[in-house]
């Protein structure tokens, strides 16, 4: 007897920034406008926030039959002999169906096979952040956003600014923070 194929619902989230750059010419007084867009990678937690809050940055997302969206083109005027730049964050969160033949086989998505488990609840493929399962955005649970190896740099000089740096070597990320104890230490 063969086990039935497992299917479940999930979300795929994407964000991108649209930019309008207006260059005012000194010689002719004309304005040259160039539009561009850049994909913004988002974490699974940001995807859940987008879905639960129905917000794209500070903008309300529109609800449609297959998901949520906020799309807009930046607006703004140019000026003579100046460069003006305007940006707008755009977002799409779409409902998707995920499928798995067996617990040890890859998960099938609209974007191809995902090399992860159903219990993982998240996967990032290209510019798509895919999430599934029950998640909320409150702080009563923890979720791994980055996992890797790194090293901590703690300055020993007394004249330092009392800050430390955590370096993630695989993703080339640097996190800076202040060394502030929970309680003031009183010398005896």
Give the predicted TM-score (pTM) of the model: 0.65
Which structure tokens are listed for 33? 């406008």
Q: Which residues contact 139 (CB under 8 A, 6 or more apart)?
A: none
**pLDDT, position 27:** 76
**pLDDT, position 92:** 98
Query: 113 and 47 in one domain?
Result: yes
Please name the residue that has the structure tokens 């609840």: 121
Query: 183 and 102 in one domain?
Result: no
Query: 165 and 97 in one domain?
Result: no
Alpha-carbon distance of 129 to 93, in angstroms, equals 9
Res 29 pLDDT > 80: no
Res 49 pLDDT > 70: yes
Alpha-carbon distance of 118 to 49, in angstroms, equals 20
Core vs surface per residue 106-138: b (16+ CB within 10 A) or e = ebbbeeeebebeeeebbbbeeebbbbbeebeee
Mean of the pLDDT values across residues 1-21?
87
Give the residue numbers spanning the domain of 24.
Answer: 6-132
Query: 60 and 13 in one domain?
Result: yes
Task: Please give the tally of structural domains in the chain.
Answer: 2
* pLDDT-derived band at 139, boundaries 50, 70, 90: very low
**pLDDT, position 165:** 72
**pLDDT, position 177:** 64
């Amino acid at each position: 007897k063969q086990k039935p194929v497992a299917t479940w619902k999930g979300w795929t989230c994407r964000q991108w920034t649209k930019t309008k750059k207006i260059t005012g010419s000194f010689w002719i007084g004309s304005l040259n406008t160039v539009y561009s867009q850049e994909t913004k990678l988002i974490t699974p937690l940001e995807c859940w926030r987008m879905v639960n809050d129905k917000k794209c940055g500070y903008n309300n997302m529109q609800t449609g039959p297959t998901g949520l969206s906020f799309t807009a083109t930046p607006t703004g005027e140019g000026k003579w002999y100046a460069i003006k730049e305007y940006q707008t964050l755009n977002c799409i969160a779409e409902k998707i169906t995920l499928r798995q033949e067996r617990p040890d086989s890859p998960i099938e998505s609209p974007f191809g096979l995902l090399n992860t488990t159903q219990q993982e609840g998240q996967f990032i493929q290209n510019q798509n952040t895919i999430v599934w399962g029950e998640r909320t955005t409150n702080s009563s649970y923890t979720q791994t956003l980055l996992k890797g190896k790194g090293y901590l740099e703690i300055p020993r000089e007394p004249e330092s600014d009392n800050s430390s740096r955590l370096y993630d070597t695989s993703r080339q990320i640097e996190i800076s923070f202040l060394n502030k104890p929970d309680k003031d230490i009183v010398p005896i």
